[in-house]
Structure 1
Amino acid sequence: MTQEHQDPKEESLRRARVLNPRPEAVRAPEFVASEFFDARDLLQVKYEMLRRVTHEGATISEAASTFGFSRPSFYEARSAYEEGGIPGLLPKKPGPRRAHKLSEEVIERLILAKEANPSLSSADLAQLARDDFGLRVHPRSVERALARYPKDHQEPTL
């Protein structure tokens, strides 16, 4: 069985989540004729696309097409760059950004249940969230949400 040789740069780009899924779509001359410019490097491609419009006066449609993107993708990249500079062009980590299921109302209910019965485990509280709110949450998610909640919370007034 032969082991396929992977390009170390390609592996590095993949690990950093900046491997361009469509390098063949990049038609910009500098990416075709240079070793420095690498169409596989999504961050470099996006930056050069933005630079082409900003500093060389290319139209958005022309630059987007030349660099293998749609116009909406150009606008998204420009907005990300304006907001965060070059790091703003990096892809965001996949997955939820916050505890989206465990709203303040749910957390309040779980805290009140735990205060009423301190022997309740996180699994018990997850079951309570399912019974009362129809939410399927992992017990560890309950633990993390409760740990983030301020200890000196005010009990809701009725």
Structure 2
Amino acid sequence: MSTDRDHSEKRDRLKKTRTLNRSPEKVRDPMFTTGDFFDPEDLLQVRYEMVRLVRLGGATLAQAAERFGVSRPTCFRMAKAFREGGLMGLIPARRGPRGPHKITPEILRFVRICRERHGRIGAKRLVPLIEAEFGVRLHPRGLEKALARAEKKTLETGP
């Protein structure tokens, strides 16, 4: 018999591993609504059982999507992810960009040269210069963040 503390610890582990189901109330499969083993908050378990049901022929993709509280495209994506990557394919990837992909070392060097020649130029004035020189459209705040990271990196490693 699990306690509230056990449940809380499990939720914390699921959050840390990005496998906490944000919509457990949408899971309507009978295995997850009765009993203690199947946990609708465990996203990996929900995804695996959904894919397993489809693979064993117990339901169509549309039926499985309905029972497990996801869209049909999500169910299709999970079936494909499992086929291609096994259980690891069902683990959610990190969300959002993986870094500043537009701001290259050349752009940072350009900014440094502009600032050496003209003093401390702000990001709002630099963005149009960068677009004219490199053909890259940036948001001023994104440039500010990249410049702050570059400056921090320089301070940590030295000149």
- Structure 1 length normalisation: TM-score? 0.66
Q: In structure 2, what is the Cα distance between the partners aligned to 1:81 and 1:97? A: 23
Matched residue of 2:56: which SS? Answer: helix
Q: In structure 2, what is the Cα distance between the partners aligned to 1:8 and 1:39? A: 16
The alignment of Structure 1 onto Structure 2 pairs a total of residues equal to 136
- CA shift in 2, pair 1:38/1:133, >3 Å: same
Q: In structure 2, what is the Cα distance between the partners aligned to 1:109 and 1:10? A: 43
Q: Does 1:82 align with 2:83?
A: yes
Q: CA RMSD in A?
A: 3.5
1:69 shift after superposition:
1.2
Q: Is the 8 A contact 2:11 2:20 kept in 1?
A: yes
- CA shift in 2, pair 1:37/1:77, >3 Å: same
Matched residue of 1:53: which SS? Answer: helix
Structure 2 gaps, min length 5: 132-137, 154-159
Please name the residue that 2:53 is paired with: 52
Task: After superposition, give the CA deviation of every residue in 1:51-100 in whole Å (9 maximum; x if it has no partner).
Answer: 00002342111111111111111012123323332222222223312322
- CA shift in 2, pair 1:34/1:125, >3 Å: farther
Matched residue of 2:83: which SS? Answer: helix
Higher helix proportion:
2
Matched residue of 2:102: which SS? Answer: coil
- Structure 2 length normalisation: TM-score? 0.66
Please name the residue that 1:98 is paired with: 99
Please name the residue that 1:133 is paired with: 130
Q: In structure 2, what is the Cα distance between the partners aligned to 1:47 and 1:26? A: 13
Q: In structure 2, what is the Cα distance between the partners aligned to 1:39 and 1:57? A: 19
Structure 1 gaps, min length 5: 146-158
